[in-house]
């Protein structure tokens, strides 16, 4: 539909939190509260919801260690790893953009 495939990637990566979550998973698995600390502005509720959606899309997997207290880790699936270059690409563009924005005062 609409003659392009761009929307597929955007559906997965888009929204307010998914890109940020995926960015923080780039350097390895993370626990739930670890992600909360890395993304201070996300609420518990939204983090849960977004992680579930990423799981349903097959991008990340949830690994639950049967311990008390609970221990859960989130990490990329093999399929999800195919998205990593895009995340990194956007990260690098964002860095360049902010630098240019504040340096050249481009608006």
Please report, as ranges, the residues that interact with its own copies according to CB under 8 A. Answer: 1-10, 13-16, 19-20, 22-24, 38-42, 58, 79, 82-83, 85-87, 89-98, 106-107
Q: Which does 38 bind (CB under 5 to 8 A by kind): its own copies, DNA, none?
A: its own copies
| Range in contact with DNA (rule: CB under 7 A) among 10-18, 20-28, 83-91, 98-106 | 10-18
Instruction: Give the neighbor-by-neighbor strand order of the sheet with 71-76.
Output: 30-31, 71-76, 60-65
E-strand ranges in 1-107 read 30-31, 60-65, 71-76
From 77, 15, 2, 87, select the one nearest 46 (Cα to Cα): 15
What binding mask, one character per residue, do residues 24-43 give for DNA by CB under 7 A, x or -? -------xxxx------xxx
Structure tokens at 11: 């559906």
Pick the closer one to DNA by CB: 48 or 96.
48
- The neighbour count for residue 80, using CB atoms within 10 Å, is 20
Which structure tokens are listed for 70? 């609970």
Give which of its own copies, DNA, none residue 70 binds (C-beta under 5 to 8 Å, depending on kind): DNA
Residues of this chain that interact with DNA (CB under 7 A) are: 15-17, 31-34, 41-46, 48, 50-52, 62, 69-73
């Amino acid at each position: 539909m609409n003659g392009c495939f761009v929307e597929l990637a955007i559906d997965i990566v888009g929204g307010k939190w998914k890109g940020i979550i995926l960015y923080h998973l780039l350097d390895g698995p993370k626990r739930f509260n670890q992600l909360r600390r890395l993304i201070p502005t996300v609420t518990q509720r939204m983090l849960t919801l977004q992680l579930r959606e990423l799981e349903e899309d097959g991008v990340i997997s949830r690994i639950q260690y049967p311990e008390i207290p609970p221990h859960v880790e989130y990490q990329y699936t093999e399929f999800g790893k195919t998205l990593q270059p895009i995340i990194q690409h956007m990260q690098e563009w964002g860095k360049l953009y902010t630098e240019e924005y504040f340096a050249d005062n481009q608006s």
